[in-house]
Amino acid sequence: MKKIGMCSIRGWKGVLGKNLFVFVAILFAASIVYFYIDFPLKVNMRTLEDGFHDDDFYNYEDIVQREDTALRFNKTSNDVIVFVHIQKTAGTTFEKFLVRYQQNLPCKCQAHKKRCNCGRRSSNETWLFSRYSTGWVCGLHADFTELVVNSCVQKVLDKQAGHKKKRNYFYTTFLRNPTDRFISEFRHVQRGATWISSKHVCNGKPASVNDLPTCFDPRIGWEGVSLEEFISCPYNLAFNRQTRMLSNLSLVGCYEHMRKPSYEQDKIMIESAKENLRKMSFFGIKEQMDDSQFYFENTFDMQFTRKMSVWGKSKSNDTVLSESQLAYIRNVNKLDWELYEYAVQLFDERVSQLRRKRRIRR
Ligand SMILES: *[C@@H]1O[C@H](CO)[C@@H](O)[C@H](O)[C@H]1NC(C)=O
Ligand SMILES: *[C@@H]1O[C@H](CO)[C@@H](O)[C@H](O)[C@H]1NC(C)=O
Ligand SMILES: *[C@@H]1O[C@H](CO)[C@@H](O)[C@H](O)[C@H]1NC(C)=O
Ligand SMILES: *[C@@H]1O[C@H](CO)[C@@H](O)[C@H](O)[C@H]1NC(C)=O
């Protein structure tokens, strides 16, 4: 393995001269394009500049681009996997697999108990921050803003350990086709779920009722809601949920202006969500379960004993929608569509990169 590593370094030097010219040419072309298509490229250029490296936030590049395994998930050190669970994205399947069907660092699960003990062999501190290990300790379906921006994960784990400690965080999440996700959320709410106890903490405090009114009477709930009513509530949190839950909401003044979306606010949120997604060490795509499993297993060097694609099949029937309802749903989730298309492309790149690496290693 070492030899292959050295060869590839020498190989790099050999082609550097030729590639430098190509690179400069591309940069030149890119800078012209940049003036015309300002926004999509800005994100990429910034990545080139500083790589967005936070000390304790391990992104995909950190893990994969090193030949040695020093930055791979290390079960015996201070590494922690954190899962950002966006509703109706196959998150529950993934969480179940992490605690129950993963061989390399098994959690101790007891019959009839929802939560498992995912302690390390040496210290008994958890290596997994998720619903079936720590539980919803940062709030029900806590989002990126609550977990990371408000440092909730760090605070909770420090509290459990009894002292402050530096940890290496490996963030993970799952995304899904936004129209399907939205419909799935609608059906879930129709069956009686509301997630009303989510706190939506931002800048250190929960969102106020004024900023975030509910679409229904909290004493009654929203069971049996019709699709028409569901999509016509202007502050329905189902709209663009994936973008909102992955972006740093401090950047847009939290929930204060959520009721009055603006072009600027949308732009900041989508850019932030893309950036945070890119920083994650893993994200799965519900429509590509086999590849998601491959990506996870090869990034963390952990193996599942079953196939997620077989387990995660949706059981309920499809809701029949008219063309105009579909178009409307697509439109009210347009940030999520932009994020999803970006995510699928990034996902495909990472999966093929991992496949190449695997071939080289063999
Ligand atoms: C994992 O962490 C432990 C403790 O910090 C260290 O001794 C060990 O060398 C690390 N393993 C790898 C593969 O980096
Ligand atoms: C590890 O923690 C769990 C739950 O917090 C506890 O039940 C168990 O006894 C602990 N094990 C050891 C070896 O300390
Ligand atoms: C979130 O945005 C705030 C406000 O700009 C900034 O101070 C903070 O560093 C950001 N946090 C993360 C994790 O991106
Ligand atoms: C789904 O559709 C099938 C066939 O139309 C029907 O038999 C079944 O009861 C439906 N299930 C639900 C949960 O609506």
Q: Is residue 279 part of a domain?
A: yes
Which residue lies with its CA nearest to atom 14 of ligand 4?
317
Q: Is residue 12 part of a domain?
A: no
Total residue count of the chain as it appears in this document: 362
- The pLDDT of residue 3 is above 80: no
Task: Please give the average per-residue pLDDT across 239-259, as a whole number.
Answer: 95
26: left (phi over 0), alpha (psi -120 to 50) or beta: alpha
pTM of the predicted model as reported, rounded to 2 decimal places = 0.82
Higher-confidence residue: 24 or 159? 159
CA of 119 to the centre of ligand 2 (A): 8
Task: Please give the average per-residue pLDDT across 17-33, as a whole number.
Answer: 52
Higher-confidence residue: 66 or 80? 80
Which residue lies with its CA nearest to atom 12 of ligand 2?
124
Strands 282-285 and 201-202: unpaired
Which amino acids are annotated catalytic?
141
Which residue lies with its CA nearest to atom 3 of ligand 3?
250
CA of 120 to the centre of ligand 1 (A): 13
> Closest ligand 2 atom to the C-alpha of 124?
1
Instruction: Determine the pLDDT at residue 320.
Output: 83
Higher-confidence residue: 321 or 343? 343
Q: What is the CATH number of the domain that holds 135?
A: 3.40.50
- The pLDDT of residue 33 is above 60: no
Ligand closest to Cα of 66 equals 1
On the 0-12 / 13-18 / 19+ scale of CB atoms within 10 A, 129 is buried
119 lines ligand 2 (CB under 6 A): yes
CB 282 within 8 A of CB 300: yes
Ligand closest to Cα of 113 equals 2
- The pLDDT of residue 211 is above 60: yes
Instruction: Determine the pLDDT at residue 362.
Output: 66
Percent of the chain residues topping a pLDDT of 90 = 64
| Residue 264 structural domain | 55-361
CA dihedral 260, 264, 268, 270 (to 10 degrees): 70
**Total count of domains within the chain:** 1
Q: Is residue 31 part of a domain?
A: no
124 lines ligand 2 (CB under 6 A): yes
CA of 172 to the centre of ligand 3 (A): 19
Which residue lies with its CA nearest to atom 1 of ligand 4?
317
Instruction: Determine the pLDDT at residue 105.
Output: 84
Q: What is the DSSP letter of 330?
A: H
Instruction: Determine the pLDDT at residue 23.
Output: 54
CA of 231 to the centre of ligand 4 (A): 24
CA of 102 to the centre of ligand 3 (A): 34
Q: Which of 184, 190, 191, 317 to mutate to test the pocket of ligand 4 (most atoms within 8 A of CB)?
A: 317
Task: Please give the average per-residue pLDDT across 142-153, as a whole number.
Answer: 96
- The pLDDT of residue 204 is above 70: yes
pLDDT by residue (tens digit) across 186-202? 999 999 999 999 999 99
The mean predicted confidence, pLDDT, of the chain is 83
The beta strand positions in the chain, using DSSP E, are: 79-84, 128-129, 168-175, 201-202, 205-206, 282-285
Higher-confidence residue: 84 or 33? 84
316 lines ligand 4 (CB under 6 A): yes
Q: Is residue 80 part of a domain?
A: yes
Q: Is residue 4 part of a domain?
A: no
CB 43 within 8 A of CB 271: yes
CA of 187 to the centre of ligand 4 (A): 14
Task: Please give the average per-residue pLDDT across 294-317, as a whole number.
Answer: 83
> Closest ligand 4 atom to the C-alpha of 315?
13
Q: Which residues line ligand 1 (CB under 6 A)?
A: 69-70, 74, 76-77
Q: Is residue 37 part of a domain?
A: no
Instruction: Determine the pLDDT at residue 124.
Output: 85
CA dihedral 320, 321, 326, 329 (to 10 degrees): -90
CB 195 within 8 A of CB 342: no
Q: Is residue 36 part of a domain?
A: no
Instruction: Determine the pLDDT at residue 181.
Output: 96
Instruction: Map residue 20 onto helix, strand or coil.
Output: helix
pLDDT by residue (tens digit) across 36-57? 333 333 333 333 333 334 556 7
- The pLDDT of residue 25 is above 50: yes
Q: Which two tokens stand for residue 222?
A: 């929203």
261 lines ligand 2 (CB under 6 A): no
CB 168 within 8 A of CB 71: no
Q: Is residue 28 part of a domain?
A: no
